[in-house]
Amino acid sequence: MLYEPIGHDPAHWPDSYWRASCPALPPCPPLARSSTVDVAIIGAGYAGLNAALELVESHGADVAVLEAAQPGWGASGRNGGFCCLGGTKLDATAITRRIGAAGAAEWDAFEHAGIARVRDNLARYRIDAQTTETGEIQLAANARAWARMQRAGGEVLDATQLREHGLNTAVYPGGAMTRAGFGLHPYAYVTGLARAALAAGVALHGDSRVTGLTPAQAGWTVQTAQGQVHARQVLIATNGYSDERLPGWLHRRILPALSHVMVTEPIAPADLQAQGWTRHLMAYDSRTLLHYFRLLPDNRMLFGARGGMSFRPAPVARFAREARQAFDMIFPAWQAVPAAYHWNGLVCLTTSRAPYIGPVPGAPGLFLALGWHGNGVAAASHGGRCAARALMGVADAAPRLTRRPPARFPLPRKLALRAGMALAGLIDGPLRPR
């Protein structure tokens, strides 16, 4: 385990705005007996619940989902609520170099299908996820990044145009607009999926941390503290909260990394006008250690930052102060606006810099769907559906980019993460007012 136990403790819920502003799902009871199903899914997040719904609704499978905490405890209930393109740390050129133009086009279609999948889920299961306006803007962190954006073409806005569009900051010289995606309430979305899974007949068990995973006749036995499930197939969809002993093949093939989120008190309309940021649009900057932010429906500002190395209180508080300093520099008119909530969570990186949706080598009937690289709302939702179809024997159910099993990280991961963050900080440089 790379991080302190408190970061993985199911009894320790984050102090998040999401859970405070949404009716909680009634606790799902723990597994307390022995049962037999077609498919057991470990992890009740976006990927696991979408896979369960796909298996039940489209294939008539008998499915059990086991969650160490309760649905919504992990990344699916504590992220920034960006339903957007993404899922990989590879750009289009690198994807084309790796798998060719057809593979790159397939991945692009997967990204857009992920957004459509979330929209369909919200409509189909009548989930009120407080969606916000369509689109996303990437803001250039410095003049060099702005020059690259301008050379790349597309819909770019300079600083004057950003102000005219209600997207003014004191830092960014320009940005590039993408007309895809939307913001949502992530906890409302994941608990809505859980309710839909229960209504569809999925056996959903909370407080059921998996303690053993062993091959058995015609499948696998999944053991918890109070019960066990015998399944012909098993899907592990635990992302940055995975237990890398289950299976041992996963050890050192993922890199959980910390992300910090702050949500302010509601900002008065006059203060929104004073800053010149009035849009409820998803936004992020071009830094490697990026900042991401969006105005919520009740005019609170959500502000996220990548970084941090520990769940211990002192380092968490220190990183929260650094994030607030960046917020105050970007939005100086809001320096007096109090922060109402702070919390942390884990994103999941891989050596391939892409998700993995596929079988565990040498373990027939055991599958993985994880590695969403901090953009899992759409990618994990659709990826879970792809994983379900792969389990049912559909050829090429997952896009080619996701079929490459990740290699092990060659260095001690905490050391690699620390070195990578230090290098990224040097490359990014400090934020500076325009």
Q: Is residue 425 part of a domain?
A: no
Distance between CA 317 and CA 338 in Å, rounded? Answer: 15
Q: Comparing C-alpha atoms, which of 207, 230, 190, 246 is closest to residue 50?
A: 190
Q: Is residue 61 part of a domain?
A: yes
Number of domain units in the chain: 1
Q: Is residue 371 part of a domain?
A: yes
The crossing angle, in degrees rounded to 10, of helices 376-391 and 92-124 is: 80
The per-residue pLDDT for 262 is 98
DSSP string across 191-237: HHHHHHHHHHT-EEESS--EEEEEEETTEEEEEESS-EEEEEEEEE-
The per-residue pLDDT for 2 is 87
H/E element, 383? helix 376-391
The per-residue pLDDT for 96 is 98
For residue range 73-118, what is the model confidence (pLDDT) as tens digits? 999 999 999 999 999 999 999 999 999 999 999 999 999 999 999 9
Distance between CA 406 and CA 351 in Å, rounded? Answer: 6
Q: Is residue 399 part of a domain?
A: yes
Q: Is residue 333 part of a domain?
A: no
Residue 317: Cβ within 10 Å count: 11
The per-residue pLDDT for 283 is 98
Distance between CA 52 and CA 62 in Å, rounded? Answer: 9
Q: Is residue 191 part of a domain?
A: yes
Any idea what the CATH number is for the domain that residue 395 is in? 3.50.50.60
Q: Is residue 152 part of a domain?
A: no
User: Please, is 230 exposed, middle or buried when counting C-beta atoms within 10 Å of its C-beta (0-12, 13-18, 19+)?
Assistant: middle
The alpha carbons of the chain give a radius of gyration, in whole angstroms, of 21
The per-residue pLDDT for 425 is 85
Q: Is residue 377 part of a domain?
A: yes
Q: What average pLDDT values come out for the chain (434 residues) when binned by 10 residues?
A: 90 95 94 97 98 97 98 97 97 96 98 98 98 98 96 95 98 97 98 98 98 95 97 98 95 95 98 98 95 98 92 93 96 98 96 97 97 97 98 95 95 86 87 90
Range of the structural domain that residue 385 is part of? 5-80+187-251+353-407
